[in-house]
């Protein structure tokens, strides 16, 4: 069922019908497809398996090239973030990223085996509170586990997700992809870890569509997968960070990119829950929200598009569900976290919910298992 | 009774009073004897304390005067004869010949370029620069019209030449012009004749005869980018950059020998400003200020002089000058002076000397006073009828404004100007709007639908040769013809001429144009003219678009004919692209409730109330105390005229009580103030919690200030009965029981207690010196044998009356000077009777002094009352860093808030004495009554607009709006499964000025400014880039 239709008149089935009947022009002209959240909730219920988000994506590409509408006007934050992405796609522009956020005890390198692909997180810091703590936590986890310095690019460019899904800028997206590929190759990396649901989907699914051998060359992992594997391989265990006097109930918000945008075998939704189940030993109580896994509700905003009261209503609904489920809400998409916590500024009744990223949640609870002296030492 | 007013003198005083008068409903004849309005302020480089470019803030007002249909601008005219009385004056004005027809002259300047006559000193540049015999005083002159100097013109003196006549394409030159008398009738007269700075009259010891000794006004021209040296600091003798510049303060003023016993009041500040600007112009220069007292008593003034020293490294010497001599070899100057801090005589060598010479009433004041039949004071300033109302001359119906009445700075002048306008309105109330001209012959507006195909007409102006010589206008015409939707293009010599306006109207009709573009000069001066022309034939004025191909094209590309032509084409093409998308906009009329709310019932509030009430408006005064009068209730005798305070206050209170238009709410405060200009709903609550709601159109804030209690300083505490503040002394003197004086033989007065410091209260409170001197005099009368010692830092006695008042007091008591490094110390040495020992380092004597005293009087600064924040929030107006209310602009809008419809006066703005408070109160009443008189307010079409659909209620626009025009409003929205409160931004069209700050800030692109919306701007950019 279309999530958007709960807050405004929106009927994907009618749009598809119009297209099938040969009124594609009319659909493009009406620009209704700019509104789609590309959450892919409808795909789950579609008997014909129509990928509506993909349809919206392609329509945006066409709309951009056929109508006069100034799309930049539609984008939240006046399109500044997508503008940054576009600038990065230019051939001779290499970003000089501020790496001040990198903790002192985390050695980084520009060449090596494992790349932490940071994404655009640190760019948002000026507008949204403490977003880079996601990056800090992730890098700390990686540094703790890995023996070699982690590769972090000073001139990392955008993955292109927003241009691809939100803006209909296919060519710019491909430019970015090529730039990224070249950098990955030059740095000699074989594993790419990211904490961003959007980067993950893009590198995991969309880049291999462009570069045939991408998947052969690079193994792309979300930090959830990475930790899951390390845990299963017996490299790490989960511990309580401090003495919790009372049980903490928490819940998990599945980002669309990690739930509905991946092939079934990927299974991140289940892996993360397996980890959380383990946390019940640490005086945590995991509760599901009313909508979860592939049925998860949307954070209301996609690709920095549509922030408005309709989007707020969607977020509000999600936050009410979270409030019913626990005091902490974990998510694994930085933008979900930004958008959901942004709403807390407007509504006091939602302020009590602590919204954290998976990495931030995990960082205090990871312990390396020293395989040589397993029994004697503790840390 | 005549509904018109004669204003004599068109400096900032005359300009402001004229503008306010027209808004109050009077026709103004503005007579100026020089060829342009602007006066002295136009000559200044920057203005203190904000260092705004003087002409930049003045020029808009000059243009406003020029455009105002109800101001008859009579420049190069002189008043010759006046007869009659208030309500009916007959005035003869002499129109001096410009030797050209000012209705024809377009100010193109072709004539001056060709004029062969050798150049003569330019008076506007204080004779430092040169001009031709046909000239315009300065480029921004208003009216922008040339004139011929008959004394040097070859044609007029010798009958040869006449080349200007030949080159003038509009045939404006007329060598036959003769002086002409013009008779006008007016109801009132405002004198605003300003000041002169005649340095040449100084005695020789100041050295003005040397080339490198300049007066401060000459130095302003030297600093000015449009001055004779184009803003390079050069000295006149060799046009080299001076390294050491000496600024001499009080060069001739406060000096009985120079016949200028008074303080010119502005020099301390402009000297600090000139020194700062000098340092900004050239790092290599060193500035030295030879000062006497520092008299910087206006808002943030004292801090400004401190900044000059601390931030810019300007060095100040407390000194006395004995003489200035020239070194013949290199034209440097030798200053012989006494350093008052060390008592030593020294010589100082400077490359350039700037004299703060006395400002005196303008030349011809005596004759003018004769024509007006009004009295002058002993310094030749116009004499005010009463000390407490300096705007009234000795004759009914003739008002005084600005420096012609006495030394004052620009904010005070502007205040006076508004005050005079309101007092004119009081006496001519019955004939308001009688002579105000409404536009006639306006056709009803044609309906233009968005769906109508654009039909664009373009006029390209040659502006004489200003554009025509540097841009290929005919090729531009051909090019523009090819642009889409352009149905007609033509060029003309002067688009602004009156025959061009007729032509524009014909074109609109003939070609059924629904958009018009004029490519010519700047919209700043001419847009409204063309808009009016459009309106006359029923075309909405927002369907007009102007392109500046002169200031921003032909003038800056004078040697690049082709590029200039291409640029002109680009600019016009962009305008055509925008014009296509122009929409007709409406200007709403909002009613104004003709009532005023006055917050505070002190002297300021009462004066403002009486002023508005006598103009026929209903006034509500809300006072938090249980009686009217504010600080006046505690005062004894008022300085400098020694009038009984109670008597003075009672007279005013009587008038207030008698007025049927004034309603007073005592012991009251506000529950709520809602609304905006013209429509405020005010809920007043009294001490018994009774509420009453009133509706008002405007609000005047007159909340006053209080004396600071110096707890813990100089033995001031509960136990010590003989350490008191000045106000406490005042109360003692007011009471009938004077027995407290019996055991007292010596009183010590300490000035600047807790004021003018680096930390804490940094400002000078302006009134304490005067109050202290007054009380000295009163005590001396009561007990002549009493000794009084005054410990002071500088004396702020900067009004024309004050210098002598101060000198008289010096005879009555002992004055000891101290500075911040050597604060006085008070030690209690006896309990009963109380006795104190005072130790102080006297800086003039350079000696530590110790003496005993029976009573210590502390002069502390005035501070704003507590809890103003709450009121400020309710009114949505700001406070400054000292918690006084912050006006819209310290220089030119001292009585307005940035939020329209709310005004301030008196000590709410800054500590001030009664005279200034009254002057401000009348001024604020004048500013407020402009709206009340108008009955309606017209909103602009050019305002910002919020797309409710796109607004996410983040509130960023609200926080950046400089006019408080934006409000966030919550509403409950219902969605399926959930309802939530959503904030949306709303823009009040009555307050919005269309500045666009909100539109630039909105991160969602939800706000656009009408007439400059995103589509229109993108269309322009695209049209530029895509060609």
CA distance B527 to chain A (A): 30
d(CA B429, CA B424): 8
Report the candidate in B898, B959, B870 with the shortest Cα–Cα distance to residue B670.
B870
Q: Which residues of B touch A316 (CB under 8 A)?
A: 978, 980
Residue B974 sits at the chain A interface (C-beta within 8 Å): no
At B522, is the pLDDT very low, low, confident or very high (cuts 50, 70, 90)? Answer: confident
d(CA B437, CA B579): 32
**Residue A244: is its pLDDT beyond 70?**
no
Identify the top-confidence range among A164-168, B180-184, B226-230: B180-184
Q: Which residues of A touch B950 (CB under 8 A)?
A: 308
What are the start-end ranges of the E strands in A75-190? 108-109, 114-117, 150-151
Of the partner residues B973, B1015, B1018, the one whose CB lies closest to the CB of residue A309: B973
Stretch (H or E) spanning B1019? helix B1014-1025
The predicted structure's pLDDT at residue B611: 96
> pLDDT tens-digit profile of B266-324?
999 999 999 999 998 888 899 999 998 888 888 889 999 999 999 999 999 999 999 99
> Which chain A residues in 294-313 lie under 8 Å from chain B, judged by CB atoms?
307-310, 312-313
Give, to the nearest 10 degrees, the angle between helix B523-536 and helix B498-510: 50
d(CA B51, CA B890): 11
d(CA A330, CA A286): 10
Please give the backbone phi and psi of residue B630, each rounded to the nearest 5 degrees, phi first. 55, -135
Q: Which CATH class is domain B97-177?
A: alpha beta
Chain-chain contact of A309 with B1015 (C-beta, under 8 angstroms):
no
CB atoms within 10 A of CB B438: 8
Chain-chain contact of A309 with B953 (C-beta, under 8 angstroms):
yes
Q: Which residues of B touch A298 (CB under 8 A)?
A: none
Domain formed by B709-862, architecture: 3-Layer(bba) Sandwich (3.50)
> pLDDT tens-digit profile of B53-95?
888 889 889 988 988 889 999 999 999 999 999 999 999 999 9
Residue B1014 sits at the chain A interface (C-beta within 8 Å): yes
d(CA B871, CA B864): 12
Q: Which residues of A touch B1003 (CB under 8 A)?
A: 76-78, 80
Q: How far apart are the first and last CA of chain A?
A: 49
Mean pLDDT for A75-81 is: 78
Residue A373 sits at the chain B interface (C-beta within 8 Å): no
Residue A317 sits at the chain B interface (C-beta within 8 Å): yes
CB atoms within 10 A of CB B88: 14
Of the partner residues A6, A72, A75, the one whose CB lies closest to the CB of residue B977: A6
The predicted structure's pLDDT at residue A377: 45
Residue of B nearest to A3 (CA): B976
- Beta-strand relationship, B286-291 and B244-248: parallel
At A73, is the pLDDT very low, low, confident or very high (cuts 50, 70, 90)? Answer: low
CB atoms within 10 A of CB A319: 27
Q: What is the largest CA-CA distance in chain B?
A: 100
CA distance A307 to chain B (A): 7
d(CA B923, CA B904): 9
Chain-chain contact of B1004 with A310 (C-beta, under 8 angstroms):
no
Report the candidate in B889, B902, B887 with the shortest Cα–Cα distance to residue B599.
B902
DSSP annotation of B940: P
What is the CATH code for A77-232? 3.40.50
CATH 3.50.50.60 fits B198-358, yes or no: yes
Q: Which residues of A touch B1015 (CB under 8 A)?
A: 70
CA distance B1004 to chain A (A): 5
CA atoms within 13 A on the CB side of B418: 28
Q: Which residues of A touch B976 (CB under 8 A)?
A: 6-7
CATH topology of domain B944-1009: Alpha-Beta Plaits (3.30.70)
CA distance B556 to chain A (A): 34
- Map out the domains of chain A as residue ranges: 4-69, 77-232, 237-368
Residue of A nearest to B984 (CA): A309
d(CA B223, CA B128): 12
The predicted structure's pLDDT at residue B413: 96
Q: Which CATH class is domain B456-579?
A: alpha beta
DSSP annotation of B39: H
Region of poorest pLDDT, from A53-67, A182-196, B614-628: A53-67
Would you give the distance in Å from CA B940 to the centre of its chain?
Answer: 24
Q: Which residues of A touch B982 (CB under 8 A)?
A: 309, 312
Stretch (H or E) spanning B729? helix B726-734
Mean pLDDT for B821-841 is: 92
Of the partner residues B950, B978, B1002, the one whose CB lies closest to the CB of residue A313: B978
Residue A7 sits at the chain B interface (C-beta within 8 Å): yes
Residue A323 sits at the chain B interface (C-beta within 8 Å): no
Q: Which residues of A touch B978 (CB under 8 A)?
A: 313, 316-317, 320
Residue A11 sits at the chain B interface (C-beta within 8 Å): no
DSSP annotation of A6: G
Kindly tell me the number of DSSP H helices and DSSP E strands found in chain B: 25, 53
Q: Calculate the alpha carbon distances from B567 to A5, B488, B554 in Å.
A: 51, 21, 9
Per-residue H/E/C for B841-881: EECCCCEEEEEEECEEEECCCEECCCCHHHHHHHHCCCECC
- Averaged pLDDT of chain B: 92
> pLDDT tens-digit profile of B353-381?
999 999 999 999 999 999 999 999 999 99
**Residue A68: is its pLDDT beyond 70?**
no
Mean pLDDT for B522-535 is: 87
Chain-chain contact of B1018 with A70 (C-beta, under 8 angstroms):
yes
The predicted structure's pLDDT at residue B442: 84
CA distance B476 to chain A (A): 29
b (16+ CB within 10 A) / e for B613-650: bbbbbbbbbbbbeeebbbbbeebbbbbbeeeebbebbe
Assess whether the previous peptide bond of B49 is cis (omega < 30° from 0): yes
CB atoms within 10 A of CB A21: 9
The model's pTM = 0.81
CA distance A70 to chain B (A): 8
- Beta-strand relationship, B147-148 and B134-135: antiparallel
Question: CA torsion B8→B9→B11→B15, rounded to 10°?
Answer: 30
Q: Which CATH class is domain B591-705+864-936?
A: alpha beta
CA distance B518 to chain A (A): 28
Chain-chain contact of B980 with A313 (C-beta, under 8 angstroms):
yes
Mean pLDDT for A196-204 is: 96
Helix (H, G, I), strand (E, B) or coil at A112: coil
Percent of chain B with pLDDT over 70: 100
CA distance A73 to chain B (A): 6
- Cβ atoms B401, B14 nearer than 8 A: yes
> Which one of A308, A317, A318 would you mutate to disrupt binding with B, by most B Cβ within 10 Å of its Cβ?
A308
Residue B953 sits at the chain A interface (C-beta within 8 Å): yes
d(CA B49, CA B890): 8
CATH 3.40.50.2000 fits B1-96+179-197+360-442, yes or no: no
> pLDDT tens-digit profile of B622-655?
999 999 999 999 999 998 888 999 999 999 999 9
Residue B978 sits at the chain A interface (C-beta within 8 Å): yes
Chain-chain contact of B1004 with A307 (C-beta, under 8 angstroms):
yes
Assess whether the previous peptide bond of B889 is cis (omega < 30° from 0): no
Q: Which residues of A touch B973 (CB under 8 A)?
A: 309, 313
Chain-chain contact of B976 with A78 (C-beta, under 8 angstroms):
no
The predicted structure's pLDDT at residue A374: 54
Chain-chain contact of A70 with B1014 (C-beta, under 8 angstroms):
yes
Report the candidate in B757, B785, B961 with the shortest Cα–Cα distance to residue B861.
B757
d(CA B576, CA B56): 30
Q: Residues near B505 by Cβ (< 8 Å), separated by ≥ 6?
A: B533, B536, B537
> Which one of A9, A34, A313 would you mutate to disrupt binding with B, by most B Cβ within 10 Å of its Cβ?
A313
Chain-chain contact of B1004 with A313 (C-beta, under 8 angstroms):
no
The predicted structure's pLDDT at residue A69: 65
Of the partner residues B982, B1003, B1015, the one whose CB lies closest to the CB of residue A77: B1003
d(CA B364, CA B195): 10
Size of interface A-B (CB pairs under 8 A): 52
The predicted structure's pLDDT at residue A378: 44
Mean pLDDT for A219-229 is: 96
Q: Which residues of B touch A6 (CB under 8 A)?
A: 975-977
> pLDDT tens-digit profile of B923-972?
999 999 999 998 898 888 999 999 988 888 889 999 999 888 999 999 99
Residue A245 sits at the chain B interface (C-beta within 8 Å): no
CATH topology of domain A237-368: Glutathione S-transferase Yfyf (Class Pi); Chain A, domain 2 (1.20.1050)
> pLDDT tens-digit profile of A127-169?
777 788 999 999 999 999 999 999 999 999 999 999 999 888 9
Q: Which residues of A touch B1002 (CB under 8 A)?
A: 78
Of the partner residues A78, A312, A317, the one whose CB lies closest to the CB of residue B977: A317
> pLDDT tens-digit profile of A9-48?
888 989 999 999 999 888 888 888 888 999 988 888 888 8
Whether B1-96+179-197+360-442 shares its CATH topology with B97-177 is answered no
Residue of A nearest to B971 (CA): A309
């Amino acid at each position: 069922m279309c999530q958007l239709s709960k807050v405004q008149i929106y009927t994907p089935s009618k749009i598809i019908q119009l297209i099938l009947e040969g009124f594609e022009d009319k659909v493009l002209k009406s620009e209704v497809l700019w509104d789609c959240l590309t959450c892919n909730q409808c795909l789950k219920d579609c008997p014909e398996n129509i990928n509506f988000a993909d349809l919206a994506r392609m329509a945006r590409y066409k709309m951009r090239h056929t109508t006069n509408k100034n799309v930049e006007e539609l984008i939240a934050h006046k399109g500044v973030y997508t503008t940054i992405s576009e600038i990065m796609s230019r051939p001779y522009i290499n970003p000089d990223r501020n790496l001040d956020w990198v903790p002192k005890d985390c050695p980084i390198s520009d060449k090596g085996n494992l790349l932490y692909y940071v994404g655009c997180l640190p760019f948002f810091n000026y507008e949204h509170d403490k977003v880079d703590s996601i990056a800090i936590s992730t890098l700390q986890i990686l540094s703790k586990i890995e023996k070699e310095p982690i590769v972090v690019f000073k001139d990392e460019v955008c993955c292109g997700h927003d241009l691809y899904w939100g803006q209909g800028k296919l060519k710019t997206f491909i430019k970015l992809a090529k730039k990224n590929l070249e950098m990955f190759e030059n740095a000699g990396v074989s594993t790419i870890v990211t904490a961003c649901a959007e980067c993950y989907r893009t590198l995991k699914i969309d880049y291999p569509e462009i570069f045939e051998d991408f998947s052969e060359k690079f193994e792309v992992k979300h930090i959830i997968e990475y930790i899951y594997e390390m845990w299963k391989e017996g490299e790490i265990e989960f511990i309580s960070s401090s003495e919790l006097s009372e049980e903490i109930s928490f819940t998990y918000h599945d980002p669309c990119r990690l739930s509905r945008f991946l092939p079934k075998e990927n299974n991140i939704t289940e892996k993360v829950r397996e980890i959380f189940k383990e946390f019940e030993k640490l005086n945590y109580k995991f509760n599901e929200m009313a909508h979860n896994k592939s049925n998860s509700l949307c954070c209301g905003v996609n690709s920095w598009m549509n922030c408005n009261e309709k989007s707020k209503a969607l977020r509000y609904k999600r936050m009410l569900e979270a409030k019913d489920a626990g005091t902490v809400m974990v998510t694994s998409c930085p933008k979900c976290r930004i958008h959901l916590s942004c709403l807390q500024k407007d509504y006091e009744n939602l302020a009590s919910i602590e919204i954290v990223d998976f990495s931030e949640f995990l960082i205090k609870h990871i312990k390396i298992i020293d395989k040589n002296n397993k029994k004697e030492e503790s840390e | 009774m005549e509904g018109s007013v004669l204003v004599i003198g068109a400096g900032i005083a005359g300009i402001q009073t004229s503008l306010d008068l027209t808004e109050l409903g009077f026709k103004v004849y503005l007579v100026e004897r020089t060829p342009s309005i602007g006066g002295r302020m136009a000559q200044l480089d920057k203005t203190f304390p904000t260092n705004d470019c003087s002409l930049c803030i003045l020029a808009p007002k000059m243009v406003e005067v020029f455009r105002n249909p109800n101001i008859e601008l009579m420049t190069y005219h002189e008043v010759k004869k006046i007869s009659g009385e208030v309500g009916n004056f007959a005035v003869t004005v002499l129109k001096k010949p410009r030797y050209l027809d000012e209705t024809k002259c377009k100010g193109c300047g072709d004539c001056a370029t060709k004029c062969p006559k050798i150049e003569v000193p330019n008076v506007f540049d204080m004779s430092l620069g040169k001009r031709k015999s046909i000239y315009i005083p300065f480029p921004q002159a208003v009216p922008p019209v040339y004139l011929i100097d008959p004394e040097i013109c070859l044609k007029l003196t010798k009958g040869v030449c006449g080349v200007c006549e030949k080159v003038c394409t509009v045939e404006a030159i007329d060598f036959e012009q003769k002086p002409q008398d013009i008779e006008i009738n007016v109801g009132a007269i405002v004198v605003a004749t300003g000041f002169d700075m005649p340095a040449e009259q100084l005695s020789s010891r100041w050295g003005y005869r040397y080339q490198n000794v300049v007066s401060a006004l000459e130095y302003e021209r030297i600093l000015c980018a449009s001055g004779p040296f184009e803003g390079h600091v050069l000295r006149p003798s060799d046009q080299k950059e001076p390294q050491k510049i000496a600024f001499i303060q009080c060069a001739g003023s406060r000096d009985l020998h120079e016949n200028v016993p008074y303080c010119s009041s502005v020099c301390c500040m402009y000297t600090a400003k000139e020194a700062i600007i000098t340092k900004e112009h050239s790092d290599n220069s060193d500035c030295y200020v030879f000062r006497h007292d520092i008299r910087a008593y206006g808002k943030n003034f004292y801090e400004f002089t401190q900044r000059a020293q601390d931030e810019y490294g300007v060095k100040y010497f407390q000194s006395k000058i004995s003489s200035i001599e020239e070194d013949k070899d290199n034209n440097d100057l030798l200053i012989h002076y006494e350093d008052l801090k060390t008592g030593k005589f020294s010589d100082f060598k400077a490359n350039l000397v700037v004299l703060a010479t006395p400002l005196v009433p303008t030349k011809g004041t005596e004759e003018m006073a004769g024509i007006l039949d009004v009295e002058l004071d002993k310094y030749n300033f116009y004499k005010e009828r009463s000390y407490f109302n300096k705007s009234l001359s000795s004759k009914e119906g003739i008002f005084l404004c600005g420096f012609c009445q006495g030394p004052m700075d620009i904010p005070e002048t502007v205040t006076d100007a508004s005050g005079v306008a309101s007092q004119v309105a009081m006496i001519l109330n019955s004939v308001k709007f009688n002579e105000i001209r409404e536009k006639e012959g306006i056709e009803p507006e044609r309906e233009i639908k968005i769906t109508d195909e654009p039909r664009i007409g373009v006029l390209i102006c040659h502006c004489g040769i200003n554009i025509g010589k540097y841009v290929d206008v005919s090729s531009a015409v051909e090019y523009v013809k090819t642009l889409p939707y352009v149905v007609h293009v033509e060029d003309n010599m002067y688009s602004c001429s009156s025959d061009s306006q007729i032509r524009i109207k014909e074109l609109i009709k003939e070609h059924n144009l629904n958009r018009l573009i004029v490519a010519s000069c700047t919209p700043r001066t001419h847009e409204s003219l063309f808009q009016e022309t459009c309106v006359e034939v029923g075309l909405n004025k927002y369907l007009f678009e102007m392109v500046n191909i002169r200031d921003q094209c032909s003038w800056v590309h004078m040697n690049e004919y082709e590029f200039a032509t291409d640029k002109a084409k680009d600019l016009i093409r962009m305008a055509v692209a925008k014009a296509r998308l122009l929409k007709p906009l409406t200007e709403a009329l909002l009613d104004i409730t003709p009532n005023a709310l006055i917050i505070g019932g002190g002297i300021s509030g009462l004066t403002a109330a009486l002023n508005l009430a006598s103009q026929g408006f209903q006034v509500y005064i809300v006072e938090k105390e249980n009686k009217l009068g504010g600080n006046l209730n505690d005062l004894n005798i008022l300085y400098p005229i020694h009038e009984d305070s109670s008597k003075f206050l009672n007279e005013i209170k009587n008038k207030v009580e008698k007025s049927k238009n004034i309603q007073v709410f005592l012991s009251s405060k506000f529950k709520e103030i809602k609304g905006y200009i013209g429509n405020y709903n005010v809920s007043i609550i009294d001490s018994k919690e009774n509420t009453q709601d009133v509706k008002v159109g405007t609000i005047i804030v007159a909340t006053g200030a209080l004396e600071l209690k110096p707890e813990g300083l100089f033995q001031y505490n509960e136990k010590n009965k003989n350490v008191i503040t000045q106000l406490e002394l005042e109360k003692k003197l007011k009471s009938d029981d004077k027995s407290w004086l019996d055991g007292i033989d010596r009183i010590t007065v300490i000035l600047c207690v807790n004021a003018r410091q680096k930390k804490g209260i940094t400002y000078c409170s302006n009134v304490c010196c005067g109050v202290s001197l007054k009380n000295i005099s009163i005590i001396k009368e009561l007990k002549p044998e009493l000794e009084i010692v005054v410990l002071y830092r500088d004396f702020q006695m900067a009004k024309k009356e004050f210098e002598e008042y101060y000198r008289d007091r010096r005879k009555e008591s002992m004055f000891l000077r101290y500075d911040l490094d050597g604060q006085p110390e008070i030690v209690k040495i006896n309990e009963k009777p109380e006795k104190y020992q005072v130790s102080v380092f006297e800086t003039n004597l350079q000696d530590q002094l110790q003496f005993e005293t029976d009573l210590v009087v502390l002069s502390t600064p005035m501070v704003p009352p507590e809890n103003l924040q709450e009121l400020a929030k309710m009114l949505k107006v700001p406070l400054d860093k000292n918690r006084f209310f912050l006006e819209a602009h310290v220089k030119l809008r001292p009585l307005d808030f940035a939020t329209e419809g709310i005004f301030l006066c008196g000590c709410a703005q800054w500590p001030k004495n009664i005279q200034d408070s009254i002057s401000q109160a009348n001024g604020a009443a004048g500013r407020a009554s402009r709206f009340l008189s108008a009955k309606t307010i017209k909103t602009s079409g050019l305002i910002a607009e919020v797309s409710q659909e796109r607004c996410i209620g983040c509130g960023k626009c609200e926080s950046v709006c400089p006019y408080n025009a934006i409000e966030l409003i919550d509403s409950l929205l219902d969605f399926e499964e959930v309802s939530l409160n959503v904030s949306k931004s709303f823009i009040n069209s009555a307050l919005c000025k269309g500045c666009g700050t909100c539109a630039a800030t909105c991160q969602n692109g939800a706000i656009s400014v009408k007439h400059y919306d995103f589509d229109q701007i993108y269309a322009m950019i695209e049209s530029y880039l895509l060609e």
